[in-house]
Structure 1
Amino acid sequence: MEPIRTAVVGAGLAATVFHVPLVLSLPLLFNLFAVVERTPPAQAPEGTIAKKFGVKPKLYTRLEDLLDDPEVELVIVATPNSTHFEFSKKALEAGKHGEPRSR
């Protein structure tokens, strides 16, 4: 079975301390495929996650663009609490819940 192509929405504390390190620690299960970072910093135009962890996931600045990517299979929402429900609902409705694929 191939690793699940995983996206992380957000690049703050929750993403950099908890979610991204966990995804990267389980390469047989997950592939950090994409990140949504609304405003990548000027000193890291490739994105905070790419710079901090030395990886090269796709970088999106809009959740909608990420959800339109047919290659993304699972979305982890690591944003402020006030956005969790809305973003999670959109990801689930887009089928981004890591359901096993048949190949």
Structure 2
Amino acid sequence: MNEVAVKPPEPPPSGGRAEVRIVAASPEAARRVAEVLRHCFAATEQRSYPAGSDGGTRLHLTVDTTRTAERARSWLAASRSSAQDRPQTDEV
């Protein structure tokens, strides 16, 4: 009989922080996206991992939305979260 281990969901990050996962075809593309995020938000050091057998890269970092650049501050103020915002079916 095959047993499947189910991991409990990770607790959400502390208030004002967001965990960001970037999946890209190359490490350079993932780093470019992370760099743009760092221009808008204070962020932790990125951690990268292989993303499957196709040679892609998965990059993780945590951003602090309470310490933002002006352009991010105005975007956050204008955006609203929706009750319909749900994880995509392929998100883990």
Q: Going by fraction, where is strand more abundant, 1 or 2? A: 2
TM-score, scaled to structure 1:
0.28
| Higher fraction of helix | 1
Larger radius of gyration: 2
